C-alpha cells in the first residue's frame, strides 16, 4: 500500500474507534501498536497520552506535532445520515465523529513524521497524541512540553489548508453573588441572590471588550446560571453563580480581567465577585488533572523563523493558501500562550465542521495536509 493509501486507512481506522473524552484507552492501545510497528519509539505520558518519537542522527531542534485523539460525544445520532463511528470512505470523503476534529489531523501528522524514520536529519520529531483536550484544552500537552522541551510546535487541528499563526484564548469566569436566605412566604426578610446576580450581569454586560486587528473581538458570553440551594423549595436563595465564556486576546490575563469586573461590581455596590474557574478532570487511566480554566491567546510574528520556514515549505509544495488564525481554542494555549514556544497550526478539514452531525472531510484535504506537513518538516529538517 502506498503512503496515500496508508494515510486514508489510518484516518478511517482512528475514526472507527470511539474515543469520547475520558474513554480513550482503546485508541491509545491501537496507536501504541501502530506507531511501534511503523518504527517510532513510543512513550506513554502519566495522564494517558501517547507520543511517537523519531530521533535524527545528530543533535538539532525538537519539533512536536500535536493532535488530540479524544472527541466530543454523539447525543443526536438520529441527525446523522451515516453511523457516527463508521470511518466510512466514500464519494471522496472520510466520514465520522472526529474526522474534522481531529483524527485526520493526527493521521496526517503520523504519516508526515514517519517519512523521517531512518533518514539522516538533525534533531527530533515528536507526534503527540493528546487525551482530554475536548474537556480541558492544553492540560495534557503540558506533559509533552515537560518531557521533550520542544523548540517548535505544529498544531494539526483543522485550518482548511491555511497556515494559522495564532488564536484567541479562553477563560471561564465565575461570578458569585451573595444574598440572605429566608422562607419564600416572606421574601422581604431576606436578600434574593438571584436578583443580586442579575444586577451583576447587567453591570458586566455594560463593560467594553477589547478587539485585535487579526484575532477579532474578545467575546464575553454568559453560559450558565445556578442558585443555591437548588432546587429552592420554599427557600429564597442565599447564593447564585453565573459562568461566562470569555474569548481572550493576546496579552490578557485572568487576573486583569477579573480585576476589571470586580472593580465595576464594587463601584455599583453589588455583592458579587468574579474569579477564574478551577477545572478538575479524571483521565481514562484514573489520573486527576486540575488547573485554572484559563487558556491564553497567542500570535506569532509573520517574519518569525518558524512561520517563514513553514510558509517556504508550503510555497515550494504549491500548498500555501495564506496566513490565518484559529477561531477556537487549541493546545497552542499551552505551548505558545503559557510557555512561549514558537507554534503554528496546519491541518485538514474545516473548523466549522467540528462537533457537528455528519462530520466529514474531503480526502483531498487530508492528502494536502499530509503533503503540507511533510513540506514543512522538510524545510525545518533538510536532508
Neighbours of 182 (CB within 10 A): 17
Q: What is the CATH number of the domain that holds 331?
A: 3.40.630.10
Q: Are 147 and 83 in contact (CB under 8 A)?
A: no
3-state secondary structure of 232: coil
Regarding whether 141 and 25 lie in a shared domain, the answer is yes
Query: What cell does 322 get?
Result: 495564506
Over residues 184-224, the pLDDT tens digits come to 999 999 999 999 999 999 999 999 999 999 999 999 999 99
pLDDT band at 328 (very low <50, low <70, confident <90, very high): confident
Regarding whether 83 and 144 lie in a shared domain, the answer is yes
Q: What is the mean pLDDT of residues 70-84?
A: 91
Give the domain extent around 130.
3-168+297-380
Regarding whether 162 and 34 lie in a shared domain, the answer is yes
- The pLDDT, as a whole number, for residue 233 is 83
At 338, give phi and psi (nearest 5°): -90, -45
Kindly calculate the radius of gyration of the chain based on its CA atoms and give it in whole angstroms: 23
Higher per-residue pLDDT: 351 or 293 = 293
Regarding whether 277 and 152 lie in a shared domain, the answer is no
Neighbours of 222 (CB within 10 A): 14
At 352, give phi and psi (nearest 5°): -65, -15
Over residues 37-55, the pLDDT tens digits come to 999 999 999 999 999 999 9
Does any domain span residue 368? yes
- The pLDDT, as a whole number, for residue 77 is 87
Does any domain span residue 292? no
Q: What's the rounded Cα separation, in Å, for the pair 122 and 134?
A: 34
Q: Are 274 and 258 in contact (CB under 8 A)?
A: yes
Sign of CA dihedral 22, 357, 364, 167: negative
Regarding whether 152 and 79 lie in a shared domain, the answer is yes
Mean pLDDT over the full length of the chain:
95
Neighbours of 85 (CB within 10 A): 18
Does any domain span residue 287? no
β-bridge mates for residue 326, sequence order: 167
Does any domain span residue 289? no
β-bridge mates for residue 176, sequence order: 241, 273
Regarding whether 206 and 240 lie in a shared domain, the answer is yes
Regarding whether 186 and 262 lie in a shared domain, the answer is yes
* 267-288 exposure pattern, b = at least 16 Cβ within 10 A, e = fewer: eeebbbbbbbbeeebebbeebe
- Of 196, 228, 43, 55, nearest to 125 by C-alpha is 55
Regarding whether 150 and 258 lie in a shared domain, the answer is no
- The pLDDT, as a whole number, for residue 1 is 63
Does any domain span residue 290? no
Over residues 165-193, the pLDDT tens digits come to 999 999 999 999 999 999 999 999 999 99
Grid cell 480585576 — which residue?
259
Residues whose CB falls within 8 Å of the CB of residue 226, separated by 6 or more in sequence, listed in order: 240, 241
Q: What's the rounded Cα separation, in Å, for the pair 125 and 254?
A: 33
Q: What is the mean pLDDT of residues 372-382?
A: 97
β-bridge mates for residue 226, sequence order: 241
pLDDT band at 353 (very low <50, low <70, confident <90, very high): confident
Does any domain span residue 55? yes
Q: Are 45 and 51 in contact (CB under 8 A)?
A: yes
Select from 253, 282, 311 the last residue of a domain.
282
Neighbours of 4 (CB within 10 A): 14
Over residues 268-278, the pLDDT tens digits come to 999 999 999 99
pLDDT band at 383 (very low <50, low <70, confident <90, very high): confident
Q: How many domains does the chain have?
A: 2
Over residues 120-160, the pLDDT tens digits come to 999 999 999 999 999 988 899 999 999 999 999 999 999 99
Q: What's the rounded Cα separation, in Å, for the pair 372 and 314?
A: 6
Does any domain span residue 291? no
Does any domain span residue 176? yes
Regarding whether 367 and 322 lie in a shared domain, the answer is yes
Q: What is the mean pLDDT of residues 88-114?
A: 96
Q: What's the rounded Cα separation, in Å, for the pair 111 and 114?
A: 5
Regarding whether 121 and 11 lie in a shared domain, the answer is yes
Amino acid at each position: 500500500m502506498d503512503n496515500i493509501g496508508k494515510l486514508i486507512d489510518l484516518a478511517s481506522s482512528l475514526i472507527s474507534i470511539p474515543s469520547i473524552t475520558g474513554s480513550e484507552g482503546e485508541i491509545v492501545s491501537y496507536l501504541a501498536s501502530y506507531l511501534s510497528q511503523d518504527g517510532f519509539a513510543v512513550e506513554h505520558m502519566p495522564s494517558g497520552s501517547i507520543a511517537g518519537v523519531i530521533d535524527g542522527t545528530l543533535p538539532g531542534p525538537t519539533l512536536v506535532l500535536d493532535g488530540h485523539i479524544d472527541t466530543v460525544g454523539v447525543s443526536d445520532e438520529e441527525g446523522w445520515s451515516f453511523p457516527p463511528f463508521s470511518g466510512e470512505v466514500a464519494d471522496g470523503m472520510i466520514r465520522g465523529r472526529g474526522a474534522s476534529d481531529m483524527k485526520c489531523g493526527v493521521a496526517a501528522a503520523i504519516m508526515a513524521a514517519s517519512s523521517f524514520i531512518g533518514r539522516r536529519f538533525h534533531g527530533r520529531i515528536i507526534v503527540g497524541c493528546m487525551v482530554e483536550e475536548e474537556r480541558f484544552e492544553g492540560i495534557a500537552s503540558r506533559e509533552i512540553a515537560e518531557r521533550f522541551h520542544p523548540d517548535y510546535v505544529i498544531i494539526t487541528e483543522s485550518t482548511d489548508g491555511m497556515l494559522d499563526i495564532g488564536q484567541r484564548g479562553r477563560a471561564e469566569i465565575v461570578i458569585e453573588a451573595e444574598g440572605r436566605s429566608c422562607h419564600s412566604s416572606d421574601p422581604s426578610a431576606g436578600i434574593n441572590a438571584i436578583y443580586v446576580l442579575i444586577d451583576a450581569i447587567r453591570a458586566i454586560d455594560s463593560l467594553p471588550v477589547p478587539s485585535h486587528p487579526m484575532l477579532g473581538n474578545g467575546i464575553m458570553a454568559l453560559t450558565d446560571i445556578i442558585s443555591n440551594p437548588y432546587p429552592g423549595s420554599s427557600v429564597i436563595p442565599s447564593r447564585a453563580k453565573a459562568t461566562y465564556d470569555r474569548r481572550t486576546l493576546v496579552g490578557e490575563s485572568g487576573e486583569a480581567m477579573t480585576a476589571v469586573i470586580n472593580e465595576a461590581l464594587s463601584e455599583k455596590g453589588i455583592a458579587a465577585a468574579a474569579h477564574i474557574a478551577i477545572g478538575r478532570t479524571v483521565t481514562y487511566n484514573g489520573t486527576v488533572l486540575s488547573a485554572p480554566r484559563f487558556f491564553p491567546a497567542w500570535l506569532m510574528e509573520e517574519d518569525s523563523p518558524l512561520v517563514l520556514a513553514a510558509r517556504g515549505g508550503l510555497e515550494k509544495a504549491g500548498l500555501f493558501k495564506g496566513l490565518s488564525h484559529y477561531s477556537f481554542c487549541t493546545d497552542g494555549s499551552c505551548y505558545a500562550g503559557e510557555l512561549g514556544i514558537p507554534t503554528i497550526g496546519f491541518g485538514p478539514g474545516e473548523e466549522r465542521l467540528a462537533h457537528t452531525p455528519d462530520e466529514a472531510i474531503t480526502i483531498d484535504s487530508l492528502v494536502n495536509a499530509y503533503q503540507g506537513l511533510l513540506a514543512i518538516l522538510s524545510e525545518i529538517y533538510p536532508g
